Structures are given as C-alpha cells and as structure tokens.
Amino acid sequence: MGSVSLKIGDGTARFKRASMCSSAVNFLMLFSVVTTNLFALYAFSYRPTTGDHHKNFSLISEKVSLILREIESSQKKLARMEKELLGYETIDLSRPNIANELREFLNHHQLPLGKDSRTGITEMVASVGHSCEKSVDLLSQFMSYKVNGLCPDDWSLGQKLILQGCEPLPRRRCFAKTIPKVGLQSFPDSLWKNVSEKIYSWSGLGCKNLACLNSKKLNRDCAGCFDIVKGYETQRYIKARSKNDFLIDDVLAMGSGGIRIGFDIDSGSGTFAARMAERNVTVVTATLNVDAPFSEFIAARGLFPLYFSLDHRFPFYDNVFDLVHAANGLDVGGRPEKLEFLMFDIDRVLRAGGLFWLDNFYCSTDDKKRALTRLIERFGYKKLKWVVGEKINGSGKSEVYLSAVLQKPVRV
Ligand SMILES: *[C@@H]1O[C@H](CO)[C@@H](O)[C@H](O)[C@H]1NC(C)=O
Ligand SMILES: *[C@@H]1O[C@H](CO)[C@@H](O)[C@H](O)[C@H]1NC(C)=O
Ligand SMILES: *[C@@H]1O[C@H](CO)[C@@H](O)[C@H](O)[C@H]1NC(C)=O
Ligand SMILES: *[C@@H]1O[C@H](CO)[C@@H](O)[C@H](O)[C@H]1NC(C)=O
C-alpha cells in the first residue's frame, strides 16, 4: 500500500555524463521515495483517536493531497538537480544575451531512429562543462563570431574560460587564426633549434618575444626555459645541479628497458619530452599557455603538447603509461583533496611496474611535505629513489624540495 514511484525525465544517458554526481541524485531519489512512502504509510495507517471507529474520509483525503504535493515538489527538485548536473541546462538558452551560436550548439538533437537500444540514449547532447554557467557572459562572447568566417583572435578568452572550469569548451564554426609556421626544423634537429618567434601567437600575453619570457621566472619549473640553445635548459635531466635532480638515464635504467611512452605534467617548454625523444621514448606534455606560448613552442620542437587543465580527468585510458613525470604542476593549491584526486588519476593512467617521477616538488611547509608523503605512501609504491633536499632561493631563504622515483605495484 502506498507505493510511490518517481519518474525523472528521460535522461539515462545524461546521468551517465555526470557519474560522480549521479550518486547524489540516486541518493536524493532514494530519499524521496523513502520519505514519500513513509508519508503514505503514516497517512493510511493513521486512525483518529477520538474513539470513533469511523474513518474520517475528509482527513484521509487531506493527507493524500499532502502526499501528492510532496511528490510534486520532490519531482520538481529532482528535475532541477538533473538540470544542474547536465550543466549547460542551467544556461538559460532563452536569455536575450546568449549568442546564437551557443544556442545552436547546445540545442538537443533527437536521435533520428529514436532510443538507441544499446546505450539507452534518446538524444545527443553537446558536451560543455557545467561551470560554463558561471561565466556565461564570457562564454557568449566566446561564441560570438561570424559563422564560416575567421574567428576572433581570442585564444586567451578560451583559456580564461578553461581556467574557470568551463571545460570542455563548445565547438565553434569559424576558422581559427592561422600563423605561418615558417622555418620549422625536421626531427630530431627541431628538439634544440631556435625558430623565429613570429610563429608563436603573442596576443593576450604580457611578453611579446622570447627574450622577455627568458628574463622571467614564469613558474617554478620554467625560469629561462625557452632558451633551448644556451641556457640551463640544455643541461636539464642530463646534469644535476643538486641531489634533487635525477638524471634521465638513471631513471630509465630503473624501468629496466620497459619505458616506451610517458606523460609529462606541465613542466615547462617540453625539455623533458625532448630528452626522452632522444632516447626513443614518446612523451606527451600537458600544458596550458599560461603567460607564454608553451603549446606552440613544444609543438615547434616536434613534441606533443596536450592542451588541457589539470582539473580535467586525464584523457587516457587506465594503465597505459610506462612513466609519469610531474613537478610543481602538481601544486594545485586549495584543499588537500584536490591533490588527492590528481594523484589517483596519475595512478590510474600509470601501468603496474611503471614509474612515477616526482621532480623537485616544492614543499612550502613541513605540513605539506608530511601530507604529500602520507598520500604517496598510501598508494603503496616502491620507493626507488626518495630525496628531500634544501635549496637556497633568490632571497636567501631555504626551501624544501622532494624528488622521488616510485614504482607502481600490482594491486589485486
Ligand atoms: C473529520 O476531520 C475534520 C477535519 O480534520 C473535522 O472537521 C471533522 O469534524 C471530522 N469528522 C469526524 C466525524 O470525526
Ligand atoms: C635564440 O633564442 C634566444 C632567445 O631564447 C635568442 O636570444 C637568440 O638570439 C636566438 N638565436 C637565434 C639564432 O635566433
Ligand atoms: C632510437 O631508435 C633508432 C632507430 O630505431 C636507433 O637507431 C637509435 O639507436 C635509438 N636510440 C636510442 C638511444 O635507443
Ligand atoms: C624565498 O622564500 C621565501 C620564504 O619561502 C619567500 O617569502 C620568498 O618570496 C622567496 N624568494 C624568491 C625569490 O623566490
């Protein structure tokens, strides 16, 4: 008696898109079903204690209508949550300031043959990060262009959206600005040759040339890292400056010949991948163009730049890499869980027996070092190398760095 079932939309496929959050919806659904059922049970088993054994029908009908109202409000709440999970549905497409191309891109398209029996999907939804809603004005600006025409020179606007969590970006129907890539060298000469800086896009950047970039410490892993002809960059990974610097050949030897493909997380101008390429190891480098044309520079060296933010799940399948190299790109700031999520994703893409090379990771506080150590130890990796060292920084203060080579265990 009093069983209530709730139907929410038609969105099996759509729930899949947000599997992390779908458990929250499932929980809410379960919660609603349980509470409405309890209500029903209460209403139907309730008897007035007036001593009168007549059922008071008006009382019951009142309770029933209360239950119906409850169900209706749960349904509304669920529909709202579903839309929030979907992300772009929180973008009100009827708003006047929504770019037409954005509306066009986000509109649902019914599958021509109805429900797909294999996947249960009834309609195609365009993929766009749900945080885009927070930046809907920027997003609309990004989607304002002439269809079939040239896109505005606005890559930095796109990157701004990505950094605000609006990932993936919507596709656009305009032609991105092309820059003639003249003077590219052939591989492997390209790894260490200067090319004309005119082949990089400088719009939206503070620096307008390589000399400017090289005069700056762009981040902890890139001080002068665009000088691949004379600078320190030419010695990185083959000459140690401190005991925290491991040599690439030593690390490869620890992999006992099984290192063929690797993933480098955001550590500068591609030099790690370049050194690996010389050793016939293919490395993809994750990088955004924060303050410098990293992606284009890496590509000009004949290396593979992967343009995405570290808040994004790595676009690789489980257990595929022989090696993951990370430096201070791992310092995601914010809550410790953020680093934890990132570490789990690194663990996921690394194969058993593969190596995780943590390279000169800056531990700003002792707490941070301890937390990181605890986190790493929880993964049960074999510590092939583990060095905590101090360096004196530009203003004479001592800073603590952790370098390690860890081997992923086989878990059963
Ligand atoms: C039935 O319930 C209503 C409202 O709760 C009340 O006004 C009415 O007197 C009740 N009748 C009987 C017969 O108990
Ligand atoms: C190579 O680039 C550096 C800046 O990174 C610059 O100072 C130097 O003049 C360039 N050399 C050539 C031959 O273009
Ligand atoms: C890389 O591969 C080439 C071609 O197979 C080979 O000639 C070369 O010796 C290899 N280099 C290293 C460092 O293994
Ligand atoms: C050196 O380290 C201190 C303390 O961590 C910091 O306040 C300062 O900004 C650092 N200086 C440089 C040049 O990195």
What confidence tens digit (pLDDT) does each residue in 342-390 have? 999 999 999 999 999 999 999 988 888 998 999 999 999 999 999 999 9
| 107 touches 93 (CB < 8 A) | yes
Percent of the chain with pLDDT over 70: 83
Ligand sitting nearest the alpha carbon of 192: 2
- Whole-number pLDDT of residue 95: 80
The whole-angstrom separation of Cα 333 and Cα 345 is 17
Cα 308 to ligand 2 centroid, rounded to whole Å: 28
Q: Residue 17 carries which side chain, given as an amino acid letter?
A: R
Q: Are residues 226 and 146 in the same domain?
A: no
| Dihedral sign for Cα atoms in the order 319, 321, 322, 323 | negative
Cα 54 to ligand 2 centroid, rounded to whole Å: 97
Tell whether 297 is covered by a domain.
yes
Tell whether 6 is covered by a domain.
no
- Whole-number pLDDT of residue 43: 58
What's the whole-model pTM score? 0.74
Which of 152, 178, 204 delimits the end of a domain?
178
Bridge-partner residues for 392, per DSSP? 398
Q: Are residues 347 and 240 in the same domain?
A: yes
The whole-angstrom separation of Cα 89 and Cα 81 is 10
Q: pLDDT confidence of 7, banded at 50, 70, 90?
A: very low
Q: Are residues 80 and 218 in the same domain?
A: no
Q: Are residues 336 and 377 in the same domain?
A: yes
Q: Which domain holds residue 327?
A: 189-407
pLDDT at 37 over 80: no
For the segment 165-193, the average pLDDT, to the nearest whole number, is: 93
Q: pLDDT confidence of 266, banded at 50, 70, 90?
A: confident
The two three-digit tokens of residue 233, written as one number: 């960059």
Q: Residue 164 carries which side chain, given as an amino acid letter?
A: Q
H-helix or E-strand containing 224?
Answer: none
pLDDT at 221 over 80: yes
Q: pLDDT confidence of 269, banded at 50, 70, 90?
A: very high
Rg of the chain taking only CA atoms, in angstroms: 28
Q: Are residues 100 and 241 in the same domain?
A: no
Ligand sitting nearest the alpha carbon of 231: 2
| 355 touches 323 (CB < 8 A) | yes
Which of 178, 198, 229 delimits the end of a domain?
178
The whole-angstrom separation of Cα 255 and Cα 233 is 24
Tell whether 5 is covered by a domain.
no
pLDDT at 188 over 80: yes
pLDDT at 90 over 70: no
Q: Are residues 106 and 67 in the same domain?
A: no
Average model confidence (pLDDT) for the chain?
Answer: 85
| 68 touches 4 (CB < 8 A) | no
Residue 56 near ligand 1, beta carbon < 6 Å: yes
Q: Tens of pLDDT along 152-175?
A: 999 999 999 998 888 889 999 999
For the segment 236-247, the average pLDDT, to the nearest whole number, is: 95
Range of lowest pLDDT (102-116, 186-200, 249-263, 395-409)? 102-116
Which of 38, 67, 86 delimits the end of a domain?
86
Q: Are residues 260 and 136 in the same domain?
A: no
Pocket test of ligand 4: the residue of 218, 219, 221, 397 to mutate, having most ligand atoms within 8 Å of its CB, is 397
The whole-angstrom separation of Cα 273 and Cα 21 is 36
Bridge-partner residues for 402, per DSSP? 361, 388
Q: Are residues 252 and 168 in the same domain?
A: no
Tell whether 183 is covered by a domain.
no
Ligand sitting nearest the alpha carbon of 215: 2
pLDDT at 339 over 50: yes
* Of residues 230 and 393, more confidently modeled: 230
Residue 52 near ligand 1, beta carbon < 6 Å: yes
Burial class, 321, CB count within 10 angstroms (exposed 0-12 / middle 13-18 / buried 19+): buried
The whole-angstrom separation of Cα 151 and Cα 174 is 5
Q: pLDDT confidence of 55, banded at 50, 70, 90?
A: low
Q: Are residues 59 and 208 in the same domain?
A: no
Which residues form ligand 4's pocket by a CB distance below 6 Å?
393-395, 397, 399
Among protein residues, the one with the nearest Cα to ligand 4's atom 12 is: 394
For the segment 219-237, the average pLDDT, to the nearest whole number, is: 93
